[in-house]
Structures are given as C-alpha cells and as structure tokens.
Amino acid sequence: MIGYAILKLHSDAHCEIYSLGVFPEFHSRGISSRLFSEIEHFCFQNHLRLLKGP
C-alpha cells in the first residue's frame, strides 16, 4: 500500500473525503491526484455529490 482514501457517506446522497494520504516516499508522483480522481468517479457512478470544504 502506498496511499489511501476514506470517504464519509451521508444519508442524503452526499459524501466527503474524511481522510486521504500517501506515504512520504511516494510524494510528488501524482498519486493524491489519482486518488482524488477515483473518488470523483466513484461518486459519479453512485450518484453521490462530493462535498467540498471552504
């Protein structure tokens, strides 16, 4: 494992990124961006709206 993403699902068809991380030795390789893209795809496929913070 080199990274992870945890989503918090809400009952009203919304979700938020609870936690996302990549081990330091794998930084600057676009892994966080790829994880975020996969989260967006998951939300789209499951008709969920991704909540974004301030």
Q: Which amino acid is at 14?
A: H
Give me the number of domains the chain comprises. 1
Give one word for 13, left, alpha or beta, with left for phi > 0 and alpha for psi -120 to 50. left
Tell me the mean pLDDT in the region 7-11.
Answer: 91
7 closest CA partner among 29, 54, 40: 40
Q: Please state, rounded to an integer, the average pLDDT across all residues of the chain.
A: 94
Which pTM value belongs to this model?
0.84
Residue 19's Cβ-side half-sphere holds a number of Cα atoms within 13 Å equal to: 5
The pLDDT of residue 33 is: 97
Q: What is the pLDDT of residue 54?
A: 63
15 is in which domain, residue-wise? 3-50
